[in-house]
Amino acid sequence: MLDQLGFDYDVFISYSSHDKEWVRGDLLKGIEKVGLRAFIDFRDFKRGAPSIKECERGVANCRKTLLVLTPEYIKSEWCEIENIMVQTLSPANRDLRLIPLLKTQCEKPLRIGALTHVDFTNGADLDLAWHQLLTALDARPERPAEKAIPTDIQAELHRAKSFTEADKYSEAIPILEKALTAADGSGHTVARVKVRLSLAHALYEAREDYWGAERQFRDALVLVPIENLDLKHSVLHGLGDMPLFSGRLDEAKATIHAALGVAKLSGKADDLAGSLISLSLLERALGFHDSAIAKLDEAVHLLLQQALSLAEDEKKRHAHMLAVCYINKALLCRDTGDLDEALAFYGKVEEQHRISGDKLDAGKALLFCGEVHCANADWEKGFDCFRRALESFKEAANPLWGARALERISRLYATHERWEEALHAMLGAAAGAEESGHLREQVHFFC
């Protein structure tokens, strides 16, 4: 029977005859055990039909094609033909019909190497590999259908999102606080979690209210349904960042590793990259420079692989995550005194911010760039970066970061003994800190 998309089978298994014992045994049995319909040569090819025609039929009539990668597979001319067929159907693999499975380490062709593979090599975590493979084949056990979030709460979440997407987190906070009361009253678990997640992010971005944000993340973690891996990762990821940013590294370490474990189970590249970024920040804070770079490189590699199959509406978030990777690589370069390399990475950050449209993060990156220019005694470029950062923070309606830009401008004026302008800028910084409710920073600016 054809499925709803018109395919006769779920997966066509493309492999080398050298690997037939494992493929026809362990792999095929594991796939069919969960109810998937596999198409494989020794059983499903029509007798007497040309092999190339049967390969074409397999690719065309299966939802997915699984390539079992080994050195023998790469050398096989028939496997080369199957590759070309699949690539012709979906050149950028945008519909994710092509799944590489690495059974033995080998030199992968460029078009295959650019795709994320499932690792079945010796020494790999096979439980994780099977989970990722069956998830990619859409054999994930279905959860009971969740009740839709009540319309009034969903409307408030959308309204708050319109502000947070414009980096106007302060304006989203009262909307989300109102939605939180409604969500708790509704008893809808997912609504209660999602509102807390949004409120936690808004509290951190608007005021750097670590404790307020952490409280919302912890409340959400208690509520999140255990089988909802996506939501669980979002909560753990946010929760791990709060002690990390506030200097409680031991607490951060346990939570970040828990988030990483959930990301590996879900198999989502975005989640895995996000956890690797947090882990890199932790390694940097602990002084493990090389390990921090390695984690960021791994995150960048995942994100660049994912870029081949992104839908248009996913590109902004993807660009935001790449920008975070590059700015952290720039910070690591600055730590080691390599200022030219730091500025080179800043150029990549700026390119990604043009795609993402993130005014708040773009302003933060400009502050970093200005500091690097000032460290090189290039005062004019430094001042220009600080001025542009201030404009970005004004557009983002974020008075706290606007205050920080004014502080840097004030110190630059003071360096050149322009005292009146320095005083005016620092008073503006204190006013911005007061407006944001960050009284400790206000006192710092007054001092």
Report how far residue 153's alpha carbon sits from residue 259's, in angstroms, rounded to the nearest whole number: 27
What is the amino acid identity at position 125?
D
Domain 9-136 has CATH 3.40.50.10140: yes
Q: What is the pLDDT of residue 104?
A: 93
Q: What is the pTM for the complete model shown?
A: 0.64
pLDDT band at 52 (very low <50, low <70, confident <90, very high): confident
Domain boundaries, the chain: 9-136, 361-447
Helix, strand or coil, per DSSP, at residue 268: coil
What DSSP string describes 342-379?
A: HHHHHHHHHHHHHHH--HHHHHHHHHHHHHHHHHTT-H
What sections of 246-336 are H helices per DSSP? 249-266, 269-285, 289-306, 315-335
pLDDT tier, 74 (very low <50, low <70, confident <90, very high otherwise) = confident
Q: What is the pLDDT at residue 140?
A: 55
Compute the distance between CA of residue 282 and CA of residue 328 in angstroms, rounded to an integer.
11
* Protein fold of 361-447: 1.25.40
**pLDDT for 111-140, tens place per residue?**
676 678 899 999 888 888 898 899 888 875
Residue pLDDT, tens place only, 180-234: 999 999 999 999 999 999 999 999 988 889 999 999 999 999 999 877 888 999 9
Residue 382 confidence (pLDDT) above 50:
yes
- The sheet carrying 9-14 orders its strands as 38-39, 9-14, 62-69, 98-102, 118-119
Taking only the tens place, the pLDDT of each residue in 155-167 is 999 999 999 888 7
Pairing of strands 38-39, 118-119: unpaired
